Structure 1
Amino acid sequence: MNERGLYQGSGLGLVDDKGRVAIPAALRATLALNAPRADGKDGGVVVVGVHQDAPCLVAYDQPYTATLKSQLDVQELDAPTGRRDFNVKRAAALGELVPFDGSGRFILPELLLFQAGIAQNAFFYGVFDYFEIWDPKALIGFDGIPEPVKSACRFYCGKKGIAL
């Protein structure tokens, strides 16, 4: 059995008026490694949902869904009250399977764009098990984001002339 690839890398994509944006090549390669198409062609599906604690989206390969569910099962039972906290899964279950083509282009569903506040640009950042998708201004303004992540976002925005 092959080991899972880890999502590392970053990039910035322009979101068009239909919500279409491209996944950066390094992240797309990990999607292909973790969930190759049966027919061997490029492209596939990515699961995209709302982050539980930050104003962004999370995305990952479909096989990771089972791992995520197992982690949430543990969190649900470890609630401080000793009872099951059903909101643990409710907050994470809003993922949608979204197809992407060989160039990594996919359409972010309108609801997810709305929930993450993503409009014209999307900053992608690999976080090993998954990658995050941010509105650049939201990322820069969010407390708790490490400075190297903010710096990467500023770098890509600066290269494309995007003021933050």
Structure 2
Amino acid sequence: MIDRVDYQGEGIGLVDDKGRCAIPASLRAALAANSPRADGKDGGSVIIGAHRSSPCLIGYDERYRTELKALAAQLQAAYLAKHGTHNPNILREIVQGEPVPFDGSGRFIMPAFARFRAKIGANAFFYGTFECFEIWDPRTLIESDVAEVMKDCARFHCQQKGIAL
């Protein structure tokens, strides 16, 4: 296990027509700590990809890839033991995502396919889940089978920004 700072916090980000959005400060601080730039400047790289089982995206740092590779190996070994063959979809689901740069204010451009897949429009709700953070379309989140506290959190942040759900 790699020693990393947990992703804790939440917030709503406005998404423009080009997919530009800002990572909330609490999550951005963890991201910067987990993948500091070699030159010591603010900003860096975040990997944005589809969540394996929920209709949202996940964001994480480069160092988390090691843990994802270990997870993929475990899942592949279990599948092989049970079925006697490999399942290429295990890797396809886990490694889906692409690194994108973010600046010192946390602004990044959400990959077009990822945004399309998660149905993210003009607003993106960010929610830290220790190892990574999730990015949701607020309406999709509220209609999904997730913890009520998370739904309430999204409702609260939308209300604070004057976003009608």
TM-score in terms of structure 1 length: 0.95
Task: State the secondary structure of the residue aligned to 2:62.
Answer: coil
Q: C-alpha distance in 2, partners of 1:82/1:128?
A: 34
Task: State the secondary structure of the residue aligned to 1:36.
Answer: coil
Indicate the residue corresponding to 1:22 in structure 2: 22
Task: State the secondary structure of the residue aligned to 2:83.
Answer: coil
Indicate the residue corresponding to 1:154 in structure 2: 155
| Deviations 1:3-36, CA, capped at 9 Å, x for gaps | 3100000000000011000000010000111111
% of aligned pairs identical? 54
| Deviations 1:51-99, CA, capped at 9 Å, x for gaps | 0111100010001111111111101121242432221111122210000
Counting only pairs closer than 5 Å after superposition, residues 7-156 of structure 1 correspond to structure 2 as 7-79=7-79, 80-143=82-145, 145-156=146-157
Task: State the secondary structure of the residue aligned to 2:92.
Answer: helix
Q: C-alpha distance in 2, partners of 1:92/1:68?
A: 7
| Deviations 1:121-153, CA, capped at 9 Å, x for gaps | 00000000000000000000011x101111100
Q: C-alpha distance in 2, partners of 1:98/1:88?
A: 23
TM-score in terms of structure 2 length: 0.95
Large movers: runs of 4+ above 6 Å: none
**Unpaired segments of 5 or more residues in structure 1?**
none
Contact conserved, 1:78 with 1:84, CA < 8 A, in 2? no
Q: C-alpha distance in 1, partners of 2:70/2:34?
A: 18
Q: C-alpha distance in 1, partners of 2:85/2:152?
A: 41
Q: C-alpha distance in 2, partners of 1:54/1:82?
A: 28
**Unpaired segments of 5 or more residues in structure 2?**
none
Q: C-alpha distance in 2, partners of 1:82/1:43?
A: 45
Task: State the secondary structure of the residue aligned to 2:124.
Answer: strand
Counterpart amino acid of residue 153 in structure 2: A
Counterpart amino acid of residue 36 in structure 1: P
Q: How many residues align?
A: 162
Q: C-alpha distance in 2, partners of 1:11/1:131?
A: 11
Task: State the secondary structure of the residue aligned to 1:31.
Answer: helix
Contact conserved, 1:77 with 1:83, CA < 8 A, in 2? no
